[in-house]
Amino acid sequence: EVQLVESGGGLVQPGGSLRLSCTASGFRFGDYAMHWVRQVPGKGLEWVSGIIWNGHIKAYADSVKGRFTTSRDNAKNSLYLEMNSLRSEDTALYFCAKDSEGSNWHYFDSWGQGTLVTVSS
Amino acid sequence: DVQMTQFPSSLSASVGDRVTITCRASQATGSSLAWYQQKAGEAPKLLIYGTSTLHSGVPSRFSGSASGTDFTLTINSLQPEDVATYYCQNYNPGPLPFGGGTKVEIK
């Protein structure tokens, strides 16, 4: 069974930094692209970032480009999101999601339960 | 970049009704369209991909179709367990936009 477990969320001040992690199990992590998707409580889904199987291609939403960095460690079955220069509008539940393919973007066939990031002074 | 406009934003229907949700792409996108279901307090779950292919385990009352840049999710015979918010997503090419969501309730 595929499992994705996010961690690292919390309260951070505007301008601060936070690193999210997603630990995967139940599938060959290194074979698949992975994504971060966020959701402001009570609002819709926003794709944040994606990374292909080997980490060589990454993509970001315009809203986070230049501030967020996605990486992965296939040996540790882990996905990361380094978030810098955080703003109040980054407050959201951050989901880790598994792509159905490895080297390009496709649909997301498994999701974690999310970790909450709150940016506030 | 492709943008997805989803409507209606909410609907209320009776058990057994047929429900239709539409997602309109701002430009031609091929068949790279997925639908997700998110129940309150839960993570989203994949329902349909490739416009019309049901994900494993999804009840057959769910179906997807397309006409030009309009994509449709249909729930035949709405059930109480279908209460949720539904999202479409264009996934190829990037940047993988979601529609705004449709909240489905039981009348």
Q: Tens digit of pLDDT for each residue in B40-66?
A: 999 999 999 999 999 999 999 999 999
CA–CA–CA angle A58, B44, B83 (5° rounding): 155
Q: pLDDT at position B92, please?
A: 77
Q: Tens digit of pLDDT for each residue in B1-17?
A: 889 999 999 999 999 99
Contact A97, A111 (CB under 8 A): yes
Closest-CA distance, B103 to chain A, in angstroms, reads 10
pLDDT band with cut points at 50, 70 and 90 for residue B28: confident
Tell me the pLDDT of chain A (121 aa) as tens digits: 999 999 999 999 999 999 999 999 999 999 999 999 999 999 999 999 999 999 999 999 999 999 999 999 999 999 999 999 999 999 999 999 999 999 989 999 999 999 999 999 9
Q: pLDDT at position B96, please?
A: 87
Residues 44-103 of B with CB under 8 A from A: 44-46, 49-50, 55, 87, 89, 91-101
**Distance, CA of B35 to CA of B77 (rounded, Å):** 18
Q: Which member of A60, A105, A114 has the closest CB to residue B91?
A: A105
DSSP A19-71: EEEEEEESS-GGGS-EEEEEE-TTS-EEEEEEE-TTSS-EEE-TTTTTTEEEE
Give the single-character DSSP code of A14.
T
Q: Do A47 and B96 touch (CB under 8 A)?
A: yes
Q: Do B32 and A47 touch (CB under 8 A)?
A: no
- pLDDT at residue B94 tops 90: no
- pLDDT at residue B29 tops 90: no
Q: Which member of A45, A95, A105 has the closest CB to residue B94?
A: A105
Q: Do B49 and A100 touch (CB under 8 A)?
A: yes
- pLDDT at residue B105 tops 80: yes
Contacts of B96 in chain A (CB under 8 A): 35, 47, 50, 59, 105
**Distance, CA of A119 to CA of A90 (rounded, Å):** 7
pLDDT band with cut points at 50, 70 and 90 for residue B95: confident
Q: pLDDT at position B93, please?
A: 74
